Amino acid sequence: MSFHHQILNQLLVDEIVTPELTAIGVMDFDGLELTVKQLLEAFPDNFKHTFAVKANGLLSVLKKLKESGMGAEVASPGELTLALKADFDINDIIFDSPAKTQADLRVCLSQNISLNIDNLQELARLDELIKGFPDTKSFVGFRVNPQIGSGGISSTSTATQTSKFGYPLADGNNYQQLIEIYKQRPWLRSIHTHTGSQGCPLELMAKGIKVITELAERINDSVGQQQITRIDIGGGLPVNFSSDEIKPTFSEYADLLKQEVPLLFTDKYQVKTEFGRAVAAKNGFILTRVEYTKQSGDRHIAITHAGAQIITRTAFLPQSWPIRVTGFTSDGEIKTENPVTTDVAGPCCFAADLITKEKSLPKLEQNDYVMVHDTGAYYFSNHFDYNSLPRVAVYSAQKHDTKIKLNCIRKPETLDTVVANMS
Ligand SMILES: Cc1ncc(COP(=O)(O)O)c(C=O)c1O
């Protein structure tokens, strides 16, 4: 029996999952710990790993990741607030956002928070602001778009010709211009790229990282000393959503990088990473109850409570974000028999609100449960849900001796409590 199935059984025993359950998220904290251990072991000590908070901003998850040895990459003031609440050391936080305000920049410089500049207008702001903080310990870098092309999912490809992110390195005379920019600013001590996320082949990511490493060397040569001491290679390791297998692994990625950009594996540079999905996705799942089933045309339809509000990417871009589901009976037995062509639907009032479409699944019945796998990143923890009205409780699961201990790490709000608070 898989560990996540064991967690489901414990959820039933503890009566967290009851016949009234709509949907909950579960984060496997043992799994998170193991994943971070594998990450730390895959790379040498000059690599310092941050977690992309956008992937899962739940405070307990962030605290767990901090305890396990990660820093935090944040892309908005809200994410920065969460990282600070989770007690990340200021030195272990990187602020990346394409839309930093003057105030955001001032806070970073005054609090010694590292940041990556996105564009020339932001650089002009920093030129002025930095005069007020000559002793800042912030590592300031430039986010560079090596313009090496798209991966398999355009919406998560950030190194395209026309990407909204970073300084377009291959346009016109930009390469030379960036060298001059660094030469004139000794406070620019870092360089950053994030080639893309899910759908980007490892080779493409390595190619982008090679470009900025060579650029860092060119800049340092032309300055005449090692001005750039930090290279930030972003996140983006893809996740296998089609089975339980972890593929690619952190060590496969490390091996490829070592082959393509061996300089990163010497102590010359501190290397920062910003993994999100590869850390959290496979360590979380959603459990939802089948409220109703029906037959429509030749399709068996199971209506659940997990849809576009927490499985947003899949509902809107199903080809790019296919996701795996497993059916369980109401007493936690895995369903294996009577396969029928099924749509598993969510609760939202639009036709595309489907978790899976036209899948052969053991026939789901009313009050069965559906486990939606690999949803620990960018799904139930996403900002769309918890910035509005969180309806989905989230539990952490961790083994203590032989028993699985479940802890509520986010309570759902119900309309009852909202209405009660109004009166
Ligand atoms: C700058 C930056 N770093 C890291 C990440 C995390 O990417 P992933 O979750 O694919 O590892 C993102 C994702 O959008 C990003 O934009």
* Residue nearest atom 9 of ligand 1, based on CA coordinates: 276
Distance 102 CA to ligand 1 centre (A): 23
> What is the structure's pLDDT at 199?
75
Q: Whose CA is nearest to atom 13 of ligand 1?
A: 197
- For ligand 1, atom 16, the nearest C-alpha belongs to 194
Residue 380 pLDDT greater than 90, yes or no: no
Residue 169 to residues 126, 397, 406, Cα–Cα distance (Å): 20, 45, 48
The token pair that represents 330 in the structure block:
């109401």
Give 370: exposed, middle or buried? Use CB within 10 Å, 0-12, 13-18, 19+: buried
Which pLDDT score, from 0 to 100, does residue 283 have?
98
Which ligand 1 atom is the nearest neighbour of the CA of 198? 10
> In the chain, what percentage of residues exceed pLDDT 90?
79
**Ligand 1: centre distance to CA 233 (Å):** 10
Category of 401 on φ-ψ map: left (φ > 0), alpha (ψ -120 to 50) or beta: left
Residues 6+ apart with CB under 8 A from 92: 48, 50, 70, 71, 72
pLDDT tier, 387 (very low <50, low <70, confident <90, very high otherwise): very low
pLDDT score of 55 more than 90: yes
Distance from the CA of 113 to the center of ligand 1, in angstroms?
18
Pocket test for ligand 1, best of 54, 271, 374 (most atoms within 8 A of CB): 54
Ligand 1, atom 14, lies closest to the CA of 197
Q: Mean pLDDT, the chain, as a whole number?
A: 92
pLDDT tens column, 334-347:
999 999 999 999 99
Rounded to an integer, what distance in angstroms lies between the CA atom of residue 351 and that of residue 318?
A: 13
Which among 274, 275, 321, 381 is the best mutation to test ligand 1's pocket, defined by most ligand atoms within 8 Å of the CB? 274
Structure tokens at 287: 């459990």
Cis previous bond, 248, omega within 30: yes
Domains of the chain as residue ranges with CATH: 3-26+282-422 (2.40.37.10), 43-275 (3.20.20.10)
Q: In this predicted model, what pLDDT tens digit does every residue of 57-83 receive, in sequence order?
A: 999 999 999 999 999 999 988 889 899
- pLDDT grade, residue 383 (50/70/90)? low
**What residues flank ligand 1, with Cβ below 6 Å?**
52, 55, 73, 96, 194, 197-198, 234-237, 274-278
Distance 339 CA to ligand 1 centre (A): 38
Question: Is the distance from CB of 375 to CB of 6 less than 8 angstroms?
Answer: no
Quote the ligand 1 centre to 274 CA distance (angstroms).
Answer: 6
pLDDT tens for 205-226 read 999 999 999 999 999 999 999 9
- Ligand 1 nearest-atom number relative to CA 277: 9
Condensed to tens digits (0 to 9), the pLDDT of residues 223-280 reads 999 999 999 999 989 999 999 999 999 999 999 999 999 999 999 999 999 999 999 9
Cα 176 to middle of ligand 1, angstroms:
27
Q: How far is the centre of ligand 1, averaged over its atoms, from the C-alpha of 346 (Å)?
A: 27
pLDDT above 60: residue 389: no
Each residue's pLDDT tens digit, 268-308: 999 999 999 999 999 999 999 999 999 999 999 999 999 99
Length of the chain: 423
In the predicted model, is pLDDT for residue 415 greater than 60? no
Q: Cα(232) to centroid of ligand 1, in Å?
A: 12
